[in-house]
Amino acid sequence: MATDHKTLQPLEFYKTFLDRKTRPDGRSLLEFRRMTLNAGSIGTADGSAIVKCGNTAIICGIKAELVAPERDEPQKGLIIPNVTLPSLCSSHIKSGPPGETAQAATQFIAELVNNNIIMDLETLCIKNSKWSWVLYCDLLCINLDGSLLDACVMALVAALKNLSLPVVSYDEEMDKLISNIEDKMGFHGIKQPVTSTFSLFENGILISDPTFEEEQLAAGVISITMEGTSVTHLYKPGGCTLNEKQVKKLMQQSELKTKEVVKLIEEACSPMGVEPID
């Protein structure tokens, strides 16, 4: 009976839940899904992290390479993020070149990177205008069930923190690079931005961390990226309107999530290992 109602009138079905201030998966409106984070489990990558937010699962692997920096920005390194949604991750994704969702997500992450929200790109420089690191960060979605950006940002930050590279230095007299395999290093100064996604419904109802189904039904979506208590990026592509009071409420919620995620990343990237929290 319930399943028939759901297939025939999904929005009506969903609204009966919203009216009672709950959701089909048992969460309250502003509750986030359980998150787990595992860093450094992929041996072939220089840095890696696996994030699960509810059902959504993202694997981030980083391969580091060396390159001569671009002429116009000689003191900067590069981070090349790519979000891949293989046909494996959802029945709505066709195999072939990346679709709109994947391209939009890639662009979102690239914007965070280029605005130095994730880390200062100058720390990737080895020798001004000679050599710098380029980090190929591939974000691979294994299971797409909503709030893709949240999981992507979390995976990217954790993988960057997990990065372990040989110490490479530039010998000016010989004009060449020298690498020291024994010494391993990571990069300092990786910031901790946290993205929180919310879905909006027409009658002013807001829900956090929407699933794929909820994203399809909702009238709009907003992604707030925060670092500590300050907003670093706000992304609201179209959809219905929001008033000031609602935005304030969302900010409070993202602040709560930010605290939780930062704690999770610190635990996972410390030598102690993996600690899932609720």
Partner 1 sequence: MPVDSRRLQGPENSFSYKLLEKKNDNEEEAALSADLQKILIGTNKVRKDKRIPSDARPLCNVTITGIVSQAKGSAYIEQGNTKLVCGVYGPREVQKKSDFSLNGQLFCEFKFAPFSCQKRRGHQQDNEELVLSGLLREALEAAVCLHQFPKAQVEVNVMVIENDGSPLAAALTCASLALASASIPMYDLVIGTSVRQLPKLLLLDPTKDEEWEPELNHDEDNSNLTIGFMPSTHQIAAYVHEGVSKTEDLEQMLKLATEYCLKVQPVVQLCLKEVVEKTLSNESENKVDE
Cβ at position 256, least distance to partner 1 in Å: 26
CA distance 50 to 48: 7
Between 145 and 209, name the residue whose CB sits nearer to partner 1: 145
Cβ at position 28, least distance to partner 1 in Å: 21
Between 60 and 221, name the residue whose CB sits nearer to partner 1: 60
Between 88 and 277, name the residue whose CB sits nearer to partner 1: 88
Between 61 and 210, name the residue whose CB sits nearer to partner 1: 61
Cβ at position 1, least distance to partner 1 in Å: 8
Give the phi and the psi of residue 42 in degrees, each rounded to 5: -105, 110
Cβ at position 202, least distance to partner 1 in Å: 26
Between 62 and 200, name the residue whose CB sits nearer to partner 1: 62
By the criterion CB under 8 A, which residues form the site for partner 1? 1, 42-45, 48, 55, 57, 59, 61-68, 70, 78, 80-82, 84, 86-91, 94-95, 97-98, 102-103, 106, 110, 134, 136, 138, 140, 142-145, 165-166, 168, 177-179, 181, 212
214: CB partners within 8 A, 6+ apart: 14, 23, 146, 199, 207
Cβ at position 85, least distance to partner 1 in Å: 11
